[in-house]
Homo-oligomer: A and B are copies of this chain.
Amino acid sequence: MTKAGTRSRWRTPPLGSTSVTGGFWARRQAVNRQVSIPAGFRQLEASGSFNNIRLAAGDGEGEFRTTGADTFVYKWLEAIAYDSANEPNPETLAMADEVIRLIEAAQMDDGYVHSYFKVVKPGERWTDLAHNHELYAAGHLIEAAIAMRRATGDDRLLKVARRFADHIAEVFGPGRRAGAPGHPEIESALVELYRETGERRYLDLVSFFVDQRGSGEMSGYGRWGPVYHQDHVPVREADAVAGHAVRQLYLTAGVTDLFLETGDATLLTAMERLWRDMTAHRMHLTAGFGARESGEAFAGAYELPSDSCYCETCAAIAALMWNWRMLLVDGKTCYADLLERSLYNGFLSGVSVDGQTYFYVNPLQSRGGIERPEWYGCACCPPNVMRTIALAGHYAATVSDGGVQVHQYMTSRVDAAGEAGPQVVLSVETDYPWSGDVVITVDKTDGSAWELALRVPGWCPGATVAVSGEPVGEYRGGVYATVERAWRPGDTVVLRLSMAPRFMAPNPRIDAIRGSVAVMRGPLVYCLESVDQPDVDLLDVTVDPGSAMATTWEPDLLDGVMTVKIPGNVMAQADWEGELYLPEGSAQTEGRLVTLTAVPYYAWANRGPGEMRVWIPKG
């Protein structure tokens, strides 16, 4: 999570002060708490991740397993912390306690923490910053430690993390060891550690790491060069997102954190440039990132295949982190819009509805055969999903001296009392994303005049705001609707967002989805799954984007979803049978009318390994 930066326009309330109390995200958080986090405990044991740390603590048995597995443990601990901030859970806190003791015991005398380089390769510490994940792991340790302290007051892990951070600050820096982390992550973590402790040297170390980039010395795996690690160009000179998508987006999140504290405008200019490049050239409709499996990387401009794309769950999480920080800088809706798009699509597709299985890769089309596993050998995504779901409420709202800003619509409680600015407690009630109606009640206020700002999402063609039954404004998407007054307890504000399903068209420069449309409703991207279309091969489906679509609430489907019914055609292969290419105009295709059922993309692959597609040919 992010504390307010000194340069941020808006501030984040303390952990737990913006919390989900019902609705869509409460359900996801309950599954996360009851199913995913306990299953994570079992998987981390079964896969040897805990045992690695036990070995480092001098207490394990058997073989050391996956090299970078410490980070899976840290992210899982961070998830427990956030989850406990929502609702204390003695069961998972007891699991965490056991693991924290191990990590304490595994720390070396000089502060260094990394089970692989303690147990297996003790002489090779810091020998390959590009490919070993020591600084990356340090970052996740620091983040888990801060989360645990903020959530529960338990600062045992924070003591470990600070000793490690102090050790890193002794090793790296001007006049000491040079180099940058091959996998960014420690940047945001050290900025947050600076926020938590006030120790300036942690912030200086981030500046150092950021300035080291562009040496061209880090070379990627296989045929990848320095671009894989974003080491091909200095951070301030980059003009396009490039290389390994997760690394790129953890880096931009960290650099934005650095700007939030230092105000170095050259960094912000670069981040804004990269954001424009990414959204104009290298983003899937689902806000998935990384179009190429090879290098798990950003691809060329407009190279956005639906089938062979990577769109790693961790990349969507990283994008969410980055957009949150950009939003804090200057409060533009575009950042909250993109955060929302990742949250409900490219991110949420990374976990099954029952919280038991995951996706690492999130394509927008499957020709069948893709199934979710319970865990991965490289299990970076599952615990990253857990911590992000547990933290969902964090993204709901911010505060400023002049008021409260609501960004993500969740049934939630926003407690800004005790912070600088108006002393306010709000409750938000909504069936979002199924309904566009949001009711905000002022539960407490201090009598002063303050401004309530409500995001009208960029996707929304029309919205209205009413205060205690009185209309106060109409809006088109892409603004914050603001109402300033001396509020009284019990005042209600009703935001109504138009939620008609809409056909989306791709920029004609995108080759992979030419001649196709996708369906969105509210923030949700929809998809067709073969399980919902009996006797239809998804290869042969077309739709007329002039058609009227209908929605149906289906409480028993996929834990409750709004489906979209779309009039469509199923084209016969007819003259094409057995031919891939024919002279233009020589093959006729005729169709039969059908009604297609679309479900939210995030919920795909929960009912077997059938076909799926987001983009549907026009016909």
Contacts and interface: CB of A to CB of B under 8 A. Distances in A.
Contacts of A300: 367-368
A94 interface: no
A326 interface: no
Contacts of A308: 292, 303, 305, 308
Interface in A417-464: 461
Sorted nearest first, the 10 A-B pairs with minimum C-beta distance are A515-B515, A503-B584, A505-B584, A300-B367, A545-B584, A514-B515, A509-B539, A280-B578, A507-B576, A507-B580
Given A514-B515, A539-B302, A579 B280 contact: yes
Contacts of A584: 502-505, 517, 545
Main SS at interface, chain A: loop
Interface string A467-506: 0000000000000000000000000000000000011111
B617 A508 contact: yes
A552 interface: no
Contacts of A503: 583-584
Contact of A580 (B510, B540, B585): B510
A427 B510 CA distance: 50
A483 to B, nearest CB: 28
Contacts of A294: 293-294
A514 B516 contact: yes
Contacts of A517: 584
Contacts of A285: 580-581
A217 interface: no
A582 interface: yes
A354 to B, nearest CB: 25
6 contacts: A279-B578, A281-B580, A292-B308, A300-B367, A504-B582, A518-B581
Nearest to A308: B308
B511 A581 contact: no
B502 A583 contact: yes
Interface string A567-596: 000010100101111111111010000000
Contacts of A303: 307-308, 367
Contact of A505 (B365, B571, B585): B585
A100 B517 CA distance: 61
A306 interface: yes
B589 A508 contact: yes
Nearest to A307: B303
Interface string A8-24: 00000000000000000
Contacts of A280: 578-580
Contacts of A573: 507, 509
A276 interface: yes
A307 B502 CA distance: 30
A29 to B, nearest CB: 30
Contacts of A461: 583
A508 to B, nearest CB: 6
A504 B583 contact: yes
Given A512-B511, A512-B512, A515-B515, A504 B307 contact: no
A548 interface: no
Interface in A555-577: 571, 573, 576
A101 to B, nearest CB: 36
B305 A512 contact: yes
A283 interface: yes
A506 B293 contact: no
A233 interface: no
Interface in A515-539: 515-518, 539
Interface in A69-126: none
A367 B301 contact: yes
Contacts of A306: 511
Interface in A127-164: none
Contacts of A504: 581-584
Contacts of A513: 511
Contacts of A368: 300
A585 B545 contact: yes
Interface string A277-289: 0011101010000
A492 to B, nearest CB: 31
Given A539-B509, A617-B508, A283 B580 contact: yes
Which of A306, A516, A578, A584 has the most chain B CB atoms inside 10 A of its CB?
A: A584
Contacts of A293: 293-294
Contact of A276 (B571, B578, B582): B578
Contacts of A281: 580
Contacts of A307: 303, 305, 511
Contacts of A516: 511, 514
A135 to B, nearest CB: 27
Nearest to A539: B509
Nearest to A367: B300
Contacts of A571: 508
A426 B233 CA distance: 64
A295 to B, nearest CB: 11
Nearest to A365: B511
A617 B508 CA distance: 9
Interface in A290-320: 292-294, 300-308
A307 B587 CA distance: 26
A582 B505 contact: yes
Nearest to A615: B511
A439 B512 CA distance: 44
A344 to B, nearest CB: 15
A198 B589 CA distance: 54
A142 to B, nearest CB: 33
Contacts of A515: 514-515
Which of A292, A293, A513, A514 has the most chain B CB atoms inside 10 A of its CB?
A: A514
